[in-house]
Structure 1
């Protein structure tokens, strides 16, 4: 049990007026929301690494404060073990200080720093993200192919998460029948290009992003330019020719592809990364060597879809994109996640790479793009 005294915020303020040193040991992004008046901000890690630099006098009266009191007590106990004789921790931390109505101050910071710390505050608290991870997201580039049922919710959350460069490609315009599932668009957007509607909404959500709205039909002649400089591709397409083309291009350029598809009440998600992991990770052709016969897999316009279903699948895709960009967790590489909304049930299927895949088998040269429309109609 710790022998370090825990004191109330009022007692800490009283000690401060009599010469004690009050130190806020939270990280800078946490202090941005307000810190106890009179406190000096020194992050816990900095103080722990070089205590003598910040506290050269062992018998100086020092009071530590964090958000809830836990980190400050742990650090105070460590410092007491190093010989600091007059050290205490604020019970309840800054949260208790605020609840008691004691004065708070905002640390000096630029507008950009303030926006960063406030906007991404919940990300910054996650050890798996933190400041470095958030800056990595801001420097990342993602291609979202399609601003429809899957691309709309996925790009909304990628923008909110701070993915700094979003390239959205779609040649369609907003129709009223889109609005029950394509949440980027509004009734006022009907008749306007989807990519322009998407760009307006995304920048309204997060004005610091670079949103590249590309209004074109993706073909073999345009796909390479679309993938230029991209870290991850999110497939929000709704037809087989485009899925095969996008898969082939991602394998060619060594870019991970986050796949999603929906129909009626079911959806599926996976990650194809054969371009970077030959013989280890599958590509889309390993799952579907040949497209289904025409008419056997109708799109949403023909079969219908429950409005929330693309949102659920799109959010799963966005989650996979963020994990890939941050290098955290276990991605869906080699796994197909299927979802049945009516049964509210998920099922996972293992997807091994096809050693004879005509596209991604180890040592196989890229065969070139084909006539994908003809390929998908010839089965």
Structure 2
């Protein structure tokens, strides 16, 4: 004989009273749903895992179990499953969390708020990320030097991912010639400082991200102050003085540096992480700055518009890997992309024992000397 729905359900207020007298309140929603908040004192156990795990939570079959879900549907099915497993006092909380909250019954704040639980839902279902990983992203502080070609995709995807604080450093203004590749800017913002243009776009994309804009040119006098207090440094610069300053400062501050560069139809990406003994630094790759003839900038040599997008997205990926502590960062490896051939090639980049930046005999004489070296 089938039991009626009424016999399997209990009103939320009554469920609270039974919980206080020892009943087990079992939240049968998925973990990502609980991340937005849950009934106080409830234990999370997704409905699909009940048969495998309920015995460890309730060894005694005479334990009263009250299942609760979002609106009462899944918990009713859960109660039926529990009855079939021998838990004769299993019932479903009528109306679920929706009604529990409407009646003002006690709740616990989840690890993520409602907006975050919905916004980052595709992250939360990844075992490598989940709630714990998303919280790491939400608390991360990333500094990005350059709000142009590389900085545009890097900033957009890091903001979309929920990086808690994103500091943008750039002293330039938006020019119409930027718009072919610097997708964070718009025609209406030509003449506006790039950091302000970028901040407007990022705030529109994800209001939960704190965007700090610094309209300054990186130099020896400010580099350490601007980088200090962050977790990851991202090189989106378009000039060698900035890159050599970033390399020196990241070494002195012990901060990982995510490097990227583009030229015409090619690009390269690597990670320099001074926290690892085996990691090279930027000067292991370029001990001395090349001449202007050897490395012309984009305005002189040109660049295919999509190139900064491809390289910038790969840099953003490396940043997220570092924050989450997953995968294998591009430390000791230089990833090279040829857009015309449609190929990626990985080159080994070992640490140079004679490197003027991180070698055993490396000598730091101040940031002014580094800037002077690049000007020679």
Query: Would you call these one fold, judging by a TM-score over 0.5?
Result: yes
Residue of structure 2 in register with 1:57 after alignment? 61
Residue of structure 2 in register with 1:328 after alignment? 326
Q: Alpha carbon RMSD of aligned pairs, Å?
A: 3.6
1:260 and 2:226 are equivalent in the alignment? no
Distance verdict in 2 for CA 1:300–1:311, change over 3 Å: same
Distance verdict in 2 for CA 1:116–1:55, change over 3 Å: farther
Q: Distance in 1 between matches of 2:135 and 2:319?
A: 15
Q: Secondary structure at the match of 1:200?
A: helix
Distance verdict in 2 for CA 1:298–1:19, change over 3 Å: same
Distance verdict in 2 for CA 1:262–1:20, change over 3 Å: same
Q: Secondary structure at the match of 2:261?
A: strand
Distance verdict in 2 for CA 1:55–1:202, change over 3 Å: farther
Q: Distance in 1 between matches of 2:69 and 2:164?
A: 34
Distance verdict in 2 for CA 1:365–1:303, change over 3 Å: closer
Q: Distance in 2 between matches of 1:313 and 1:56?
A: 58
How far residue 230 of structure 1 moved from its aligned partner, in angstroms, is: 0.7
Residue of structure 2 in register with 1:351 after alignment? 349
Distance verdict in 2 for CA 1:15–1:141, change over 3 Å: farther
Residue of structure 1 in register with 2:141 after alignment? 141
Is the CA contact 2:61–2:87 (under 8 Å) kept in the aligned structure 1? Answer: no
Residue of structure 2 in register with 1:276 after alignment? 275
Q: 2:33 aligns with which of 8, 30, 33?
A: 30
Aligned residue-pair number: 334
Residue of structure 2 in register with 1:19 after alignment? 8
Residue of structure 2 in register with 1:214 after alignment? 214
Q: Give structure 2 stretches of 5+ with no counterpart.
A: 11-24, 37-41, 71-76, 89-94, 102-106
How far residue 253 of structure 1 moved from its aligned partner, in angstroms, is: 0.6
The TM-score normalised by the length of structure 2 is 0.78
How far residue 322 of structure 1 moved from its aligned partner, in angstroms, is: 0.4
Q: Secondary structure at the match of 1:347?
A: strand
Q: Secondary structure at the match of 2:270?
A: strand
Residue of structure 2 in register with 1:84 after alignment? 85
Q: Give structure 1 stretches of 5+ with no counterpart.
A: 1-11, 34-39, 67-72, 88-102
Residue of structure 2 in register with 1:228 after alignment? 228
Q: Distance in 1 between matches of 2:364 and 2:45?
A: 51
Residue of structure 2 in register with 1:94 after alignment? none
Q: Secondary structure at the match of 2:290?
A: coil
